[in-house]
Amino acid sequence: MTGVQAQAKAMQPFNVQTATLSGTHLIEASAGTGKTWTLSTLVLRLVLKHDAPLSSILVVTFTKAAAAELRGRVRTRLQ
Protein backbone atom coordinates (compact mmCIF):
# COMPACT_ATOMS: atom_id res chain seq x y z
CA MET A 1 0.00 0.00 0.00
CA THR A 2 1.43 3.37 -0.97
CA GLY A 3 1.48 6.39 1.33
CA VAL A 4 -1.39 7.97 -0.60
CA GLN A 5 -3.47 4.79 -0.33
CA ALA A 6 -2.81 4.55 3.41
CA GLN A 7 -3.76 8.20 3.86
CA ALA A 8 -6.99 7.74 1.87
CA LYS A 9 -7.88 4.66 3.91
CA ALA A 10 -7.31 6.53 7.19
CA MET A 11 -9.56 9.44 6.18
CA GLN A 12 -12.98 9.49 7.80
CA PRO A 13 -16.04 11.46 6.69
CA PHE A 14 -16.18 14.88 8.34
CA ASN A 15 -18.92 15.05 10.98
CA VAL A 16 -19.69 18.65 11.86
CA GLN A 17 -21.51 17.63 15.05
CA THR A 18 -18.56 15.72 16.53
CA ALA A 19 -15.57 17.48 14.96
CA THR A 20 -13.06 18.83 17.43
CA LEU A 21 -13.33 22.56 17.94
CA SER A 22 -9.66 23.28 18.44
CA GLY A 23 -6.84 23.48 16.00
CA THR A 24 -7.09 23.92 12.27
CA HIS A 25 -9.60 22.32 9.92
CA LEU A 26 -9.56 22.33 6.13
CA ILE A 27 -12.92 21.93 4.45
CA GLU A 28 -12.46 21.44 0.74
CA ALA A 29 -15.18 20.22 -1.60
CA SER A 30 -16.95 20.95 -4.87
CA ALA A 31 -19.57 23.65 -5.28
CA GLY A 32 -22.94 22.90 -3.75
CA THR A 33 -21.73 20.29 -1.28
CA GLY A 34 -22.48 22.22 1.92
CA LYS A 35 -19.17 23.88 2.79
CA THR A 36 -20.81 27.13 3.89
CA TRP A 37 -23.39 25.26 5.99
CA THR A 38 -20.59 23.22 7.60
CA LEU A 39 -18.50 26.29 8.38
CA SER A 40 -21.44 28.20 9.81
CA THR A 41 -22.35 25.19 11.97
CA LEU A 42 -18.80 24.99 13.33
CA VAL A 43 -18.90 28.70 14.15
CA LEU A 44 -22.27 28.29 15.87
CA ARG A 45 -20.97 25.38 17.95
CA LEU A 46 -18.04 27.50 19.08
CA VAL A 47 -20.22 30.46 19.99
CA LEU A 48 -23.19 28.67 21.56
CA LYS A 49 -21.61 25.65 23.21
CA HIS A 50 -18.17 26.98 24.10
CA ASP A 51 -18.90 30.69 24.67
CA ALA A 52 -16.28 31.71 22.12
CA PRO A 53 -16.63 35.35 21.08
CA LEU A 54 -17.07 35.81 17.33
CA SER A 55 -14.04 38.10 17.36
CA SER A 56 -11.86 35.13 18.35
CA ILE A 57 -12.87 32.92 15.40
CA LEU A 58 -11.01 33.07 12.10
CA VAL A 59 -12.63 31.58 9.01
CA VAL A 60 -10.88 31.95 5.67
CA THR A 61 -12.75 31.59 2.38
CA PHE A 62 -11.63 31.82 -1.21
CA THR A 63 -13.65 34.86 -2.24
CA LYS A 64 -15.17 37.97 -0.69
CA ALA A 65 -18.58 36.73 -1.87
CA ALA A 66 -18.13 33.46 0.02
CA ALA A 67 -17.09 35.37 3.15
CA ALA A 68 -20.17 37.59 2.87
CA GLU A 69 -22.42 34.55 2.42
CA LEU A 70 -20.89 32.86 5.46
CA ARG A 71 -21.18 36.02 7.57
CA GLY A 72 -24.85 36.36 6.60
CA ARG A 73 -25.65 32.74 7.39
CA VAL A 74 -24.00 32.92 10.81
CA ARG A 75 -25.90 36.12 11.64
CA THR A 76 -29.20 34.62 10.50
CA ARG A 77 -28.70 31.41 12.46
CA LEU A 78 -27.67 33.29 15.62
CA GLN A 79 -30.79 35.44 15.45
> pLDDT digits over 39-53, tens only?
999 999 999 999 999
> Largest alpha-carbon pair distance within the chain?
49
**Would you state the pLDDT for residue 2?**
65
72 touches 42 (CB < 8 A): no
- Over the stretch 4-60, which tens digit does the pLDDT of each residue have? 666 666 667 778 888 888 888 788 888 889 889 999 999 999 999 999 999 999 988
